[in-house]
Amino acid sequence: DSGVTQTPKHLITATGQRVTLRCSPRSGDLSVYWYQQSLDQGLQFLIQYYNGEERAKGNILERFSAQQFPDLHSELNLSSLELGDSALYFCASSSPGQGNTGELFFGEGSRLTVL
Amino acid sequence: AQKVTQAQTEISVVEKEDVTLDCVYETRDTTYYLFWYKQPPSGELVFLIRRNSFDEQNEISGRYSWNFQKSTSSFNFTITASQVVDSAVYFCALWGYRDDKIIFGKGTRLHILP
């Protein structure tokens, strides 16, 4: 158990809909990362937050947005969903002293299926 | 821009054989870190190793070893005497100082056959 909690574990929805994925980092971790894992693209970096502020951005679509709240949990919002958004979405956190050079602790992922 | 290439999409070996997973990276930075992660069938990614760009020493941990060669921009991972429990997807990852992002390769799916 990495200590990172993601909900929901599974989600099935229809095209055009909007969903919210939630992540609670390990206790004491300030950084939260979001990754998308699909069969053909591997593990794609979406976005990183550090203590409530956006720190780095990857290939995140404009239809997607994220935020980190004062209690350090994070949410990833996916809107106007398309079939191609079906994927496993991972959240990870890292220790404050390690920054981005340290070990990432991953949650179990949220599997999104868009029909 | 940074890039990590894992050219081997899928590998199958018979148990007890040695197997090497290749990782080639690209970065403009002189300060960077390389990582390997394991994703077993259960799905959760697990950290295996971190290596910084100033330390080219190879590392061994039990049946696992890593060969870092800056001259060829490679950070290869070898499993000696493979076991069925080693079956997983293995990801190589890179952090570069200027980009300040951790990016992953597409992964290598390893099947260890009994």
Q: pLDDT 10s digit of each residue in chain B, 114 long?
A: 889 999 999 999 999 999 999 999 999 999 999 999 999 998 899 999 999 999 888 888 999 999 999 999 999 999 999 999 999 999 999 998 888 889 999 999 999 999
Output the six-digit token pair for B16: 């007890």
CA distance B44 to A106: 6
> 3-state class of B79 per DSSP?
strand
- Chain B residues closer than 8 Å to A88 by CB: 43
Q: Is A2 on the interface with B (CB under 8 A)?
A: yes
Torsion-angle region of residue B100: left (phi > 0), alpha (psi -120 to 50) or beta?
A: left
pLDDT tens profile A91-111: 999 987 777 778 899 999 999
Backbone dihedral angles phi then psi of residue A99, each to the nearest 5 degrees: 60, -145
First to last CA, chain B: 41
Q: Is A102 on the interface with B (CB under 8 A)?
A: yes
Is A100's CB within 8 Å of B95's CB? yes
Average pLDDT rounded to a whole number, residues A71-81: 97
- Please tell me what DSSP assigns to residue A16: T
* Residue B42 Cα, gap to closest chain A Cα (Å): 8
Residue type present at position A56:
A
CA distance A90 to B49: 20
CA distance B104 to B94: 7
* Residue B8 Cα, gap to closest chain A Cα (Å): 13
Helix H segments across A1-115? none
Query: Does residue A8 have a cis bond before it (omega within 30 degrees)?
Result: yes
Is A102's CB within 8 Å of B101's CB? no
CA distance A35 to A60: 9
Please, which residues have CB within 8 angstroms of residue B62's CB and are 6 or more apart in sequence?
none
CA distance A25 to B65: 30
Computed over its alpha carbons, how large is the radius of gyration of chain B? 14
pLDDT tens profile A2-48: 899 999 999 999 999 999 999 999 999 999 999 999 987 789 999 99
* Residue B47 Cα, gap to closest chain A Cα (Å): 6
Highest mean pLDDT of the ranges A56-60, A63-67, B58-62, B94-98:
A63-67
- Chain B residues closer than 8 Å to A59 by CB: none
Indicate the length of chain B as a whole number. Answer: 114
CB A24 within 8 A of CB A49: no
Q: Is A101 on the interface with B (CB under 8 A)?
A: yes
What confidence score (pLDDT) does residue A115 get?
A: 96
What confidence score (pLDDT) does residue B111 get?
A: 97
Output the six-digit token pair for A103: 């070990």
- Chain B residues closer than 8 Å to A95 by CB: none
Q: Is A112 on the interface with B (CB under 8 A)?
A: no
Is A35's CB within 8 Å of B44's CB? no
Is A103's CB within 8 Å of B101's CB? no
